[in-house]
Structure 1
Amino acid sequence: MSLTVAVQMDPLESINIAGDSTFALMLSAQARGHRLFHYAATDLNYADGRVWTRAHPVTVQQVEGDHFRFDAPVSLDLGADADVVLMRQDPPFDLGYITATHLLERVADRTLVVNDPREVRNAPEKLWVLDFARFMPPTLVTRSLEEARAFLAEHGEIVIKPLHGNGGKAIFKVGSDGANLSSLIEVFNTAYREPHMVQAFLPGVVKGDKRIVLVDGEIAGAVNRLPGEGEIRSNLAVGGTAAKAALTPREEEICAALSPELKRRGLLFVGIDVIGGEWLTEINVTSPTGIVAIDRFNGTDTAGMIWDAIEAKVAARTG
């Protein structure tokens, strides 16, 4: 089966091919004989029931500095000319991202969009996870300094982070003395219109923050991300390092609880974050990462597993 695959992502020249999950998916698709097109979310257009984009036919190769070649751009009708759309642009999960989900939703009955755009819109990482609060650390969502102070008094040490942040950016720890808490809430309230996430600090973060990837609800693998020197953040984008990881019984329980809902929602490629082997902190559905590191440690082929699932879904639609 040869598919036409439109990849909605950030500029290819800006990616790190050694660890980029989207690039790994593109290499795998190309090896299977699928035809690739690249475009940006800002290039989407709508008129008369059609959603189209200016897209470049693209070939990719694992050569740093020479990792892609564009052919002349074409007008690609995503509802008629594409079999699959990979929605893989990085957050922030802002109005531009939300608008892209609304436009892609208009072709999702004809073209398989991964992940399902409606469900991406309805499942922001730090809000949908509240549906599984039994697995989470103590959590407060607020803009109130008074509520944050009360939460700090109850839990001793806390972490504050933007509700729609990504990549480990703007995550702050506040100690039991509450130093700078009022200033921090003031800055957050100025920078963001939405509430903020406040959680009890988990000392287990020094042992890492595990990224577990699920493909169509099934566990594909995991990697432990260890924080750098003097850091509480373990995201690879802010200096964390990756290490081989196995799942704890609690993590397997979390995955089993999530699996039916991921399948029901059409969230085919998902990454969840678990601290200390037991505390679920995020469910990443917008543009999850981690498959390159997982495959490097485990000798697996997560990109291939994702394409197996995509091809099966396309075949079920057309058969």
Structure 2
Amino acid sequence: MNILFVADPLEHFKISKDTTFAMMREAQRRGHRLSACEPRQIHWQRGARVTAQVRDITLTGQQAPWFTEDAPRMAALADFDAVLMRKDPPFDSEYFYATHLLEQAEREGAQVFNRPRALRDHPEKLAIMEFPQFIGPTLVTRDAEDIRRFHAEHGDVILKPLDGMGGAGIFRVGQDGRNLGSIIETLNQHGRQSVMVQKFLPEIAQGDKRVLIIGGRPVPFCLARIPQGTEVRGNLAAGGLGVARPLTARDLEIAEQLGPVLQGRGLLLAGVDVIGDSITEINVTSPTCFQEIQEQTGCDVAELFMSALEEAARR
């Protein structure tokens, strides 16, 4: 297959842990041809197909340089056998517009994974509200008084912006309510922005588990991101320690319930975040943790993913 990766600049990859790199490595091992571009390099001109300036690359197997490339060229996205949207968040207006360009490429015959409409219609924090049987007490609101009432009911809460990533903008407010007013003002911008408020789950001490679902089926191991020191966040970007573990019975129950639903919406790969027995997010933009799980367990997640991609691209 000819595979196009729509991603952040290749020069910024940290290949020792990058999941997109792991996908590329497995794809090349199987004999597939690799190309890459950034969302900013995709364009659509009147009367023409959606095209991009792409880099045809070959992995070297070395740390540096980790790839070689041919001269950049213009190519229609529909001419590739698969297009992988792997641009990291934030999901801002430019990401939103990129999904529209990718959706037009789909109309022209491109196979895009995850599907652009699914990315656009599946906000990663709000998506958990569809599955109330798997989440703890949760509120989404702009209203400061709603937040205060939720805090009064549950005592110890987490507040987060709906568009945050990597643990950015997450606050914990305990029983004493210290700084609640200031945190509300910071997050809801005086009623202009929505905030998610969740009852604090003390099981975070055992880790915020990333459960990967590929082609509707769970990967048998998760990565528990464990907060360090006085930090409440387990995100690796916030300094959390990643420990791979087998899925628990509850993890498996969640993944088996969500897997077919997500696959049916065109989400080939999803990362479900679980604290204790509760879902906290459903990541679909560029889920990670492939390399950490493989290094600690021997489970080759990239191999599972590439097999699922090949199967999906043949349909």
TM-score, normalisation: structure 2: 0.95
Q: Cα–Cα, structure 1 residues 171 and 237, in superposed 2: closer, same or farther, change >3 Å?
A: same
- C-alpha distance in 2 between matches for 1:261 and 1:194: 29
Q: Cα–Cα, structure 1 residues 224 and 7, in superposed 2: closer, same or farther, change >3 Å?
A: same
Residues 240-276 of structure 1 show CA distances to partners (whole Å, capped at 9, x for unaligned) of 1111212222211111210221121111111110002
1:157 corresponding residue in structure 2 = 156
Residues 94-153 of structure 1 show CA distances to partners (whole Å, capped at 9, x for unaligned) of 111111111111122522211011111111111111101221111011122211111111
- C-alpha distance in 1 between matches for 2:294 and 2:192: 39
Q: Is residue 143–residue 185 contact of structure 1 (8 Å, CA) maintained in 2?
A: no
- C-alpha distance in 1 between matches for 2:190 and 2:121: 23
1:209 corresponding residue in structure 2 = 208
**Alignment partner of 1:108: what SS?**
helix
2:312 corresponding residue in structure 1 = 313
Task: Give the C-alpha shift of residue 312 in structure 1.
Answer: 1.4
Structure 1: 4+ residue segments shifted above 4 A: none
Residues 162-208 of structure 1 show CA distances to partners (whole Å, capped at 9, x for unaligned) of 10111111111011111111111111233994301111111110110
Task: Give the C-alpha shift of residue 87 in structure 1.
Answer: 0.2
Q: Is residue 144–residue 191 contact of structure 2 (8 Å, CA) maintained in 1?
A: no
- C-alpha distance in 1 between matches for 2:61 and 2:157: 42
1:133 paired with 2:137, answer no
Q: Is residue 7–residue 88 contact of structure 2 (8 Å, CA) maintained in 1?
A: yes
1:267 corresponding residue in structure 2 = 267
**Alignment partner of 1:245: what SS?**
strand
1:284 corresponding residue in structure 2 = 283
Say which of 26, 29, 45 aligns to 1:28: 26
1:92 paired with 2:93, answer no
- C-alpha distance in 1 between matches for 2:231 and 2:275: 15
- C-alpha distance in 1 between matches for 2:245 and 2:166: 20
1:44 paired with 2:42, answer yes
Question: RMSD over aligned Cα, in angstroms?
Answer: 1.5
Task: Give the C-alpha shift of residue 61 in structure 1.
Answer: 3.6
2:66 corresponding residue in structure 1 = 67
Q: Is residue 143–residue 191 contact of structure 2 (8 Å, CA) maintained in 1?
A: no
Q: Cα–Cα, structure 1 residues 49 and 133, in superposed 2: closer, same or farther, change >3 Å?
A: farther
Q: Cα–Cα, structure 1 residues 273 and 195, in superposed 2: closer, same or farther, change >3 Å?
A: same
Opposite residue 263 of structure 2, the aligned amino acid is K
Task: Give the C-alpha shift of residue 62 in structure 1.
Answer: 4.2
Q: Is residue 216–residue 266 contact of structure 1 (8 Å, CA) maintained in 2?
A: no
**Alignment partner of 1:66: what SS?**
coil
Alignment map for 1:134-283 (pairs within 5 Å): 134-190=133-189, 193-220=192-219, 221-276=221-276, 278-283=277-282
- C-alpha distance in 2 between matches for 1:114 and 1:77: 16
Residue range with higher mean Cα deviation, 20-29 or 301-310: 301-310
**Alignment partner of 1:125: what SS?**
coil
Identity, % of aligned positions = 44
Opposite residue 250 of structure 1, the aligned amino acid is R
Task: Give the C-alpha shift of residue 228 in structure 1.
Answer: 1.4
Opposite residue 269 of structure 2, the aligned amino acid is F
Q: Is residue 55–residue 73 contact of structure 1 (8 Å, CA) maintained in 2?
A: yes
- C-alpha distance in 2 between matches for 1:271 and 1:189: 27
Residue range with higher mean Cα deviation, 19-28 or 250-259: 250-259
Opposite residue 18 of structure 1, the aligned amino acid is S
Opposite residue 38 of structure 2, the aligned amino acid is A
- C-alpha distance in 2 between matches for 1:68 and 1:161: 38
1:122 paired with 2:121, answer yes
1:7 corresponding residue in structure 2 = 5
1:57 paired with 2:56, answer yes
- C-alpha distance in 2 between matches for 1:41 and 1:254: 33
- C-alpha distance in 2 between matches for 1:183 and 1:315: 53
Q: Cα–Cα, structure 1 residues 62 and 167, in superposed 2: closer, same or farther, change >3 Å?
A: farther
Q: Cα–Cα, structure 1 residues 192 and 147, in superposed 2: closer, same or farther, change >3 Å?
A: closer
Opposite residue 42 of structure 1, the aligned amino acid is R
Q: Is residue 17–residue 62 contact of structure 1 (8 Å, CA) maintained in 2?
A: no
1:104 corresponding residue in structure 2 = 102
- C-alpha distance in 1 between matches for 2:244 and 2:135: 23
